[in-house]
Amino acid sequence: MSAAAALLGYLCWNLVYAFWVSPLAAYYKLRRNGFGGPAPSFPLGNIKEMRTIAKLTAVSSSGGAGISHDIHSNVFPYFAQWQKSHGKVFVYWLGTEPFMYIANPEFLKEMSAGVMGKSWGKPRVFKQDREPMFGNGLVMVEGDDWVRHRHVITPAFTPSNLKAMSSLMVESTTRMLGEWDALISSGVPEIEVESHITATAGEIIAKTSFGVGYNESGRMVVEKLRAMQLTLFNSNRYVGVPYSKIMCPRKTLDAKKLGKEIDSLLLSIISTRKNNLNITTNNNKDLLGLLLQENHADGRLGKTLTTRELVDECKTFFFGGHETTALAISWTLMLLAKHPEWQDELRKEIKEVSKDKMVDFSMLSSLKKMGWVMNEVLRLYSPAPNVQRQAKEDIKVFDRTIPKGTNMWIDVVAMHHDRTLWGDDVYEFKPERFKADPLYGGCKHKMGFMPFGFGGRMCVGRNLTMMEYKIVLSLILTRFSFSLSPSYDHSPAIVLSLRPSHGVPLVLRPLV
């Protein structure tokens, strides 16, 4: 009986420690370092308040002429409200986990100064929650392992390797445009292009990452990753609350099941490619082929990736590679549909650069105006609406110290829509702001524009995204003009990424 009582007491103490003692200690430590914020109520922290604020906020605006690009108060209503009381740097709580909210670029600059990429990690709660989707891929891995992963992966994104992938992008996009032609010829009045773009981006990433057709394993991986995304988003309402996965057992099991199915598919692809590694084919120019070659070459240096790590990197490529690009193109089509003058500007530029030939890799760097448009789209509707970090060491910021282990939530949407950084036209679609300043668009602080993250952990695949964006958009613009359908409902929403929750229906008109 005494042993049972001791065990019960031990379990009770662990619960009390996890739910109240540990978070209270962290709360007062942060307060002593000068970081305030909305008052938490453990063990839920600020989750209940966040839900209440979100429910009271209208998340949809009317389509057509009433479209507003002032989206921060819709997609992150609680942060917009708390900023008014606590400024642009404060601490809020997801369950018992403190998160330092940051929308101040000068604070971010000071925080990042002199801190190596490997000194930043990912919040533990997000690593655990999203493990079935990303595992220990480059997005989540930390420390010396991050350095090793980065060393193996970076060479895959050299210009010569990217050039070899461009023809695959043209091939998949041309197929999609043929489908649009067929739909228009059959009398379909409008096309919901976001779903088509997403499917084509999935096809492109299947080919460029793994050398597999979209009607093979590629489609299955993309579909299961999409299902995983929805499952994780729907089940992460209590992220940060101890033992929260026990409260959502079905969704936890669904995520694990999907994770195992995805792993099995990717292991099969990797095994086949390993067996054919010494066979010289065009497929060896896809990301997996390049990764396997680099892995083989670095074996003597002890810098290889294990098969498990290769699977996790494949999942990261699949999700990040098609999601970010598809959303950037979808938001671009919406904005160009509202601004036909920019459709004309881009068509003129494409014609001048291509001399009426098919756009290829060598021409992409000359599409300057398209680069302005891309940056302006990523400013207004960044597919990656936030960046998360965890301090792996104490970090001095001005006269305050961020304690080791503190989670950070960097609000990209807030900084991209900050009037003090961008001026009174902050909510207007003005690609020309990037003409004189192609990198920062005239932003008053260089840390105020970060479509691909910042510092040493900036997105390694950003050049692949920019290449695919320009190729796909060029092909669309040379084949069609388009306008927004009256049925378009402007409802940006966060489902890990920033996406149009009701798609992007367009009225398309063939140009040839």
User: Interhelix angle for 368-380 vs 462-479, to 10°?
Assistant: 110
Binding site feature residues for heme: 459
- Residue 76 sits in a domain whose CATH number is 3.30.43.20
- Residue 252: Cβ within 10 Å count: 18
**Radius of gyration for the chain, computed over Cα atoms and rounded to the nearest angstrom:** 24
Is 150 part of any domain? yes
Total domains in the fold of the chain:
2
Beta-ladder partners of 121: 390
User: What are the tokens at 440?
Assistant: 């920062």
- Examine the domain organization and report whether 169 and 259 are in the same domain: yes
In a domain, 320, yes or no: yes
SS3 content of the chain, % helix, strand, coil (to 5): 60, 10, 30
Is residue 431 in some structural domain? yes
Residue 358 belongs to what domain range? Answer: 124-363+454-494
Q: What's the confidence (pLDDT) of residue 237?
A: 66
What is the pLDDT at residue 59? 46
Distance CA 454, CA 450 (A): 6
One-letter identity of residue 107? F
Residue with the bigger pLDDT between 209 and 343: it is 343
Angle between helix axes 193-210 and 462-479 (nearest 10 degrees) is: 130
A 10 A CB-CB count for 52 gives 11
**Token reading at 291:** 């990764």
Same domain, 152 and 73: no
Considering the domain architecture, whether residues 130 and 113 belong to the same structural domain is answered as no
220 burial (CB, 10 Å; 0-12 / 13-18 / 19+) is middle
HSE of 263, CA atoms in CB hemisphere, 13 A: 17
Cα 13 from Cα 5, distance rounded (Å)? 12
Residue 294 belongs to some domain of the structure:
yes
Same domain, 331 and 184: yes
In terms of domains, do 214 and 250 share one?
yes
Task: Determine the Cα–Cα distance for residues 233 and 251; give it in Å rounded to an integer.
Answer: 10
Give the largest CA-CA distance in the chain: 87
**Could you tell me if 114 and 221 lie in one domain?**
no
pLDDT average, residue stretch 442-460: 88
Residue 280: its pLDDT value, please? 46
Residue at 379 is within a domain = no
Q: Give yes or no: residues 63 and 37 share one domain.
A: yes
216 & 110 share domain: no
With respect to residue 9, please indicate whether it lies within any of the assigned structural domains.
Answer: no
Last residue of a domain, one of 425, 450, 475: 450
> Which residues, 6+ apart, have CB-to-CB distance to 472 below 8 Å?
169, 173, 197, 200, 325, 329
pLDDT above 60: residue 427: yes
pLDDT greater at residue 4 or residue 368: 368
Last residue of a domain, one of 450, 479, 506: 450
Residue 320: pLDDT over 90: no
Task: Give the residue from 226, 54, 154, 111 showing the smallest Cα distance to 464.
Answer: 154
Supply the pLDDT for residue 135. 83
Specify whether 198 is located in the same domain as 314: yes
Average pLDDT rounded to a whole number, residues 400-424:
95
Query: pLDDT for 289-317, tens place per residue?
Result: 877 776 655 544 456 788 888 888 888 88
- Torsion sign (Cα): 232, 237, 238, 240: positive
- pLDDT band with cut points at 50, 70 and 90 for residue 231: confident
CATH number at residue 348: 1.10.630.10
Same structural domain, 95 and 190: no
Residues 233 and 334 both lie in one domain = yes
Whether residue 355 is contained in a domain is answered as: yes
Question: Over 50: is that where the pLDDT of 453 sits?
Answer: yes
Where does residue 293 rank: exposed (0-12), middle (13-18), buried (19+ CB within 10 A)?
middle
User: Average pLDDT in the 8-17 region?
Assistant: 71
How large a percentage of the chain has pLDDT more than 90?
45
Side-chain-facing half-sphere of 422: CA atoms under 13 Å? 26
Which residues belong to the annotated binding site? Answer: 459
- Mean pLDDT calculated for residue range 442-464: 88
92 & 178 share domain: no
**Structural domain includes residue 370:** no
Structure confidence at residue 63 (pLDDT): 42
